[in-house]
Structure 1
Amino acid sequence: MDKNQQAIALLNEKKYEEAAQLFNDVIEESPNDPLGYINFGNLLMQLNETERAERFFERAVELDEKAATAYYGLGNLYFEKEDYQKASQKFLKAIEQGLEEADAYFMLGMCFRNQEQWKLSLPYLLRATELDSQDESFLFQYGLSLAQVELLDEAQKTFEKVLELDEAHSDAYYNLGVISLFHEKIEEALRYFEKALELQSDHVLAANGKKIALQYMEQFEDK
């Protein structure tokens, strides 16, 4: 195991000081290799030292303008700062440089979601689900974007897939309830809202959805 691998192992074990020393050794031994700077940047991100992390990622890009993981690191950094426009540019650059990973597409999609650009988020969130079909968070966010552009049938299928992966996903039940309510399937909506509340008793939105569903049912009974 070389020093980079040893340092990454220490980083995963949260032994930050030891990892930092090894990453520092790697940079001193190979000052023109961007990998050491990228790994040190990732370490600094975990320690919330974003300004220092930015310098390390930028140094990696100076050494290799095709260093995809350096752009990905910068994307995460700007995302944490809620600078979604800048973050999206970096994630896109990472993908352009060959980072064909679900996380990169997901984060790019989330940049657009956080800017309420639902349509723009769709292709990237879809690609994330294609690259990793077992991650319910990817599917769930994709489902939300589908719902927000009123592609409700596709959204419904996506939330159902989320429940196949995680049958205790209260937010998926809530969103299925909203879709059922929209289609005026009131009893079905009520069941979804009640299931969400069964799983998460303090689910405020589901409680409100249940209240609305019950009001609809009372209106129909009065008629």
Structure 2
Amino acid sequence: MDKNQQGIQYMQEGKWEEAAKIFMEAIDENPEDAVSYINFGNVLSAVGDGERALKFFLKAIELDENAGVAYYSVGNLLFEKEQFDEAKNMFEQAMQKGIDHGDNYFMLGISLMQLEQGKLALPYLQRATELNPQDAEAAFQYGLCLAQLELIDEAIKQLQQCIELDEEHADAHYNLGVAYGFKEDVQKALAHFNRALVIQPDHMLAGYGKKMIEKQA
């Protein structure tokens, strides 16, 4: 087992110090290997040191401009800093460099949603749900995007899929309440607002939605 493989095993075991040490040894032994920089950056990200992690991911890109995973990792760090446009660019580059997994499509989609570009986000969020069909949050965000584009019936299907995967997803119940309210199905709207409030009693939007629906009932 080489040092990168050993380091990854340490990460899987939660042994962050051991992982960091062995990745640093790998970098010292082969300073032109982008993979070691990516792995060390992943350790730094995992322990909350995003600023240092960013430097290692950027070094990996400098060494290998086709290191798609590094672009994805930089995108995540930029997203956390709410630099959504820069994050979007990184996720797009990751895709161009061959990263074809659901998480990248998901992050690209929600970056575009943060930039209020729902129509552009839609196909990426759809692809994320296709690649990660058991991901409740992907289903939720896709449903939310559909709802924002007023594709209500399609949104309901995705939000229902979300709560099938995660029955305790309060925001999915709230948004189902809104969707059913839009369709003037008072009973279903009220049921979902109530469920959101059972899960999260301080869900202010669900409480407001419930009051509005009860006025209509």
TM-score range, shorter chain: over 0.9
Tell me the residue number matched to 2:100: 100
Amino acid of the structure 2 residue aligned with 1:2: D
Tell me the residue number matched to 2:207: 207
Tell me the residue number matched to 2:49: 49
Tell me the residue number matched to 1:221: none
Q: What TM-score results when the alignment is normalised by the length of structure 1? A: 0.92
Describe the superposition over 1:105-142 as per-residue Cα deviations: whole angstroms up to 9, x where unpaired. 11111111122222221111111101011100000011
Tell me the residue number matched to 2:168: 168
What is the alpha-carbon root mean square deviation over aligned residues? 1.4
Tell me the residue number matched to 2:116: 116
Rounded to whole Å, the distance in 1 between the matches of 2:183 and 2:12 is 47
Q: What TM-score results when the alignment is normalised by the length of structure 2? A: 0.94
Give 3-state SS (helix, strand or coil) of 2:202's partner: coil
Q: Which segments of 5 or more consecutive residues in structure 1 lack a partner in the other structure?
A: 218-223
Amino acid of the structure 2 residue aligned with 1:173: H
Rounded to whole Å, the distance in 1 between the matches of 2:50 and 2:210 is 43
Aligned length: 217
Deviates more, 1:190-199 or 1:77-86: 190-199
Amino acid of the structure 1 residue aligned with 2:185: K
Deviation at residue 89 of structure 1 after TM alignment? 0.7
Tell me the residue number matched to 1:29: 29
- Identical-pair percentage: 52
Rounded to whole Å, the distance in 2 between the matches of 1:168 and 1:48 is 28
Amino acid of the structure 1 residue aligned with 2:73: G
Tell me the residue number matched to 2:20: 20
Give 3-state SS (helix, strand or coil) of 2:184's partner: coil
Deviation at residue 63 of structure 1 after TM alignment? 1.5
Q: Which segments of 5 or more consecutive residues in structure 2 lack a partner in the other structure?
A: none
Structure with the greater alpha carbon radius of gyration: 1
Tell me the residue number matched to 2:183: 183
